[in-house]
Amino acid sequence: MLNRLTKKGWLKCSKKGRAFSWYPLVSREQAQAIQAYEQLQQFLAISNPDIVAAFADSLDTASLEQLDAIASRLQAIRRQREER
């Protein structure tokens, strides 16, 4: 599992002698933002457009601002991962 996370860019692996050490490349907050975004994308991809519209219509201003902040953070995280 750790090798998969390393290949996906979530962890960095270093080897000293026979021991391996893994280090996170994203913070807990960044990982939570990515997870929330991916869950939202799954919801949008499989949901009926009427249900998505009803959900979006029920969001208040604070929720919309949070979604914008999440999207901005995700873009920054992805740019950061691509640079490595």
pLDDT tens-place string over residues 51-72: 877 877 787 777 788 888 888 8
The confidence score (pLDDT) of residue 22 equals 92
* Per-residue confidence (pLDDT) for residue 40, from 0 to 100: 82
Where b means 16+ CB within 10 Å and e means fewer, 3-37 reads eeebeeebbeeeeeeeeeeeeebbeeebeebbeeb
Please give the pLDDT value at position 36. Answer: 84
Query: For position 42, what pLDDT does the model report?
Result: 86
Intervals of the chain under pLDDT 50: none
Distances (CA, A) of 71 to 2, 13, 55, 77: 27, 28, 18, 10
- The 10 Å Cβ neighbour count of residue 81 is 15
pTM to 2 decimal places: 0.50
